[in-house]
C-alpha cells in the first residue's frame, strides 16, 4: 500500500496576494455554503447505508463534491485524485507531481490534501488515509451508491447554478460568432477548430465537437472531416468548466432551405416542446421517455426514430446524468438541469435548460441567434446566411 503525506501549502502561496500576477491565478470556485450542503447529503447516504466513509473516484462525483475543482489532466484519462468522505472530514489524495498545483488552485477550504507517489495507487491510498487506530473498515465504493449520488447532485445549488448559466451563455455566444463567419467552402475541421479555440480561451474543455456539412447530414454523431459545409451544416458542442458540462446544437444554411427541411425543423421543435411539457417536478424519467416515444409519432417522424439516437436527459456534472431510457426511474426535481436532444433525418435540436419555479429556463441563449416561439418558449431556428 502506498504511503501518503499531507501537503502543506507553501508560504509563497499564502502570501500570493502581494504578487501582481495573483489577479490571473486560478482559485477553486467552491462555495463553503454549497459544499456544506453537499457534505450533508453524502453523510445522509452513509447514514442510510450504515457506513462511516465513502470513496469518490469518478470525474462526475469528484467535481460535484469539490464544487468545481479540476481533477483531470488528460480529457481521456482517469481522475488524478480520489477523495474519502468520512465522518471526521474530507481527504483528497493526488499524485505527488500534481499536489502543488492542486493545493494552490483546486483545493477547497476544509479538505485535507495528501500525496501518493506518481506510481502509487490512488484508490488504495485514499481508502486508507481516513482510517484511525488501525481500523479495518473498508469505505463504501462509489459504484454501490451511484443512484443515491446522482440524486444528491440533481438540484444545482446557487453557486453552481450561476456558474452553469454563465458557461452556457458563453457557449451560445461562441456558436453565434463562429457560425456567423462560416461559408459554404468552410470545412468541417475548420469550423470545429474555431469552436475549440474559443472554448479553450473561455477556460473550458471541449468534450464533444461535431459537425456535418450537407454531404454528411445523415450522420447523427458526425465527427468532423475535411468536407466543406456546402449549403447546410450542423455544429454540436459540449464543453466543461468547473466540472459542469453544457451542451448545444446549432444549424446554419446558405440558401432558403427546402420545404421538406423547413417542415422537419418545425416538427422536431414540436417534439422537443412535448418533452419540455413532460419535464416537471415529480415526473419520473421513464415516464418522460414514454412521452418522447409518443411525440415522435405524434409529429410525423415514425415510431422508430427514438431508436436512432439517444434522447438526452438530466445534465450538470456529466454530459447526461444519465441518458434517459425506459429503465431510468429517477424523479425530476426543481433546480435540475437537462439537455434533451430529439433528432430526425437531417434535423436535431439541443439546448441546456434548468427547471425553475417559472418553468424551464433555457441557459444556452444568445440574443443574436434567430428564434421562433414554440409553445411559449423561444427556440433556435437555423441561421440563414
**CB-based contact 1:120 (threshold 8 Å):** no
Q: What is the spatial distance between Cα 13 and Cα 279, in angstroms, rounded to a whole number?
A: 46
Q: What is the spatial distance between Cα 315 and Cα 353, in angstroms, rounded to a whole number?
A: 9
pTM: 0.94
Is the pLDDT score of 165 beyond 70?
Answer: yes
Q: pLDDT per residue over 307-353, tens digit each?
A: 999 999 999 999 999 999 999 999 999 999 999 999 999 999 999 99
Residue 137: predicted pLDDT: 77
Tell me the Cα Rg of the chain. Answer: 23
Distances (CA, A) of 213 to 136, 171, 264, 286: 59, 21, 17, 34
Residue 303: predicted pLDDT: 95
Q: What is the spatial distance between Cα 249 and Cα 234, in angstroms, rounded to a whole number?
A: 7
Residue 24: predicted pLDDT: 83
**CB-based contact 6:114 (threshold 8 Å):** yes
Residue 12: predicted pLDDT: 41
Is the pLDDT score of 135 beyond 90?
Answer: no
Residue 2: predicted pLDDT: 46
Residue 9: predicted pLDDT: 52
Over range 73-80, report the average pLDDT: 97
Residue 158: predicted pLDDT: 95
- Domains with residue ranges and CATH for the chain: 5-147 (3.40.350), 158-384 (3.90.230.10)
Where residue 23 falls among pLDDT bands split at 50, 70, 90? Answer: confident
Residue 115: predicted pLDDT: 97
Q: What is the spatial distance between Cα 385 and Cα 382, in angstroms, rounded to a whole number?
A: 9
With a CB cutoff of 8 Å and minimum separation 6, the contacts of 30 are 66, 67, 68, 69, 108, 109, 159
The rounded percent of the chain whose pLDDT value lies above 70 is 93
Q: pLDDT per residue over 202-221, tens digit each?
A: 999 999 999 999 999 999 99
The single residue listed with the C-alpha cell 466540472 is 243
Is the pLDDT score of 136 beyond 90?
Answer: no
Amino acid at each position: 500500500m502506498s504511503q501518503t503525506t499531507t501537503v502543506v501549502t507553501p508560504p509563497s502561496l499564502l502570501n500570493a496576494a502581494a504578487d501582481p500576477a495573483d489577479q490571473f491565478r486560478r482559485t477553486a470556485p467552491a462555495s463553503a455554503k454549497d459544499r456544506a450542503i453537499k457534505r450533508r447529503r453524502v453523510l445522509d447516504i452513509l447514514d442510510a447505508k450504515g457506513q462511516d466513509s465513502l470513496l469518490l473516484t469518478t470525474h462526475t462525483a469528484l467535481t460535484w463534491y469539490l464544487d468545481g475543482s479540476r481533477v483531470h489532466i488528460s480529457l481521456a484519462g482517469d481522475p488524478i485524485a480520489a477523495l474519502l468522505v468520512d465522518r471526521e472530514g474530507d481527504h483528497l489524495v493526488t499524485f505527488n507531481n500534481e499536489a502543488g498545483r492542486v493545493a494552490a488552485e483546486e483545493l477547497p477550504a476544509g479538505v485535507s490534501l495528501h500525496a501518493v507517489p506518481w506510481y502509487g495507487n490512488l484508490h488504495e491510498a485514499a481508502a486508507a488515509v481516513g482510517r484511525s487506530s488501525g481500523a479495518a473498515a473498508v469505505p463504501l465504493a462509489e459504484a454501490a451508491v451511484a443512484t443515491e449520488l446522482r440524486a444528491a447532485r440533481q438540484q444545482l445549488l446557487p453557486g453552481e447554478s450561476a456558474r452553469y448559466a454563465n458557461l452556457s451563455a458563453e457557449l451560445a455566444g461562441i456558436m453565434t460568432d463562429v457560425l456567423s463567419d462560416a461559408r459554404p467552402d468552410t470545412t468541417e475541421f475548420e469550423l470545429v477548430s474555431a469552436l475549440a479555440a474559443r472554448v479553450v480561451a473561455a477556460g473550458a474543455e471541449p468534450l464533444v465537437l461535431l459537425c456535418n456539412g450537407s454531404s454528411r447530414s445523415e450522420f447523427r454523431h458526425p465527427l468532423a472531416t475535411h468536407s466543406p459545409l456546402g449549403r447546410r451544416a450542423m455544429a454540436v458542442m459540449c464543453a466543461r468548466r468547473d466540472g459542469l458540462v453544457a451542451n448545444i446544437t446549432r444549424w446554419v444554411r446558405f440558401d432558403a432551405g427546402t420545404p421538406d427541411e423547413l417542415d422537419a425543423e418545425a416538427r422536431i421543435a414540436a417534439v422537443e416542446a412535448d418533452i419540455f411539457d413532460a419535464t416537471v417536478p415529480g415526473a419520473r424519467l421513464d415516464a418522460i421517455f414514454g412521452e418522447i416515444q409518443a411525440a415522435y409519432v405524434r409529429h410525423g417522424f415514425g415510431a422508430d426514430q427514438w431508436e436512432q439516437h439517444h434522447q438526452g436527459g438530466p445534465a450538470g456534472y456529466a454530459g447526461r446524468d444519465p441518458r434517459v431510457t425506459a429503465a431510468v426511474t429517477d424523479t425530476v426535481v426543481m433546480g435540475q438541469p437537462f439537455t434533451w436532444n430529439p433528432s430526425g433525418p437531417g434535423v436535431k435540436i439541443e439546448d441546456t435548460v434548468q427547471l425553475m419555479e417559472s418553468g424551464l429556463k433555457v441557459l444556452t441563449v444568445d440574443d443574436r441567434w434567430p428564434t421562433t416561439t414554440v409553445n411559449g418558449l423561444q427556440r433556435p431556428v437555423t441561421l440563414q446566411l
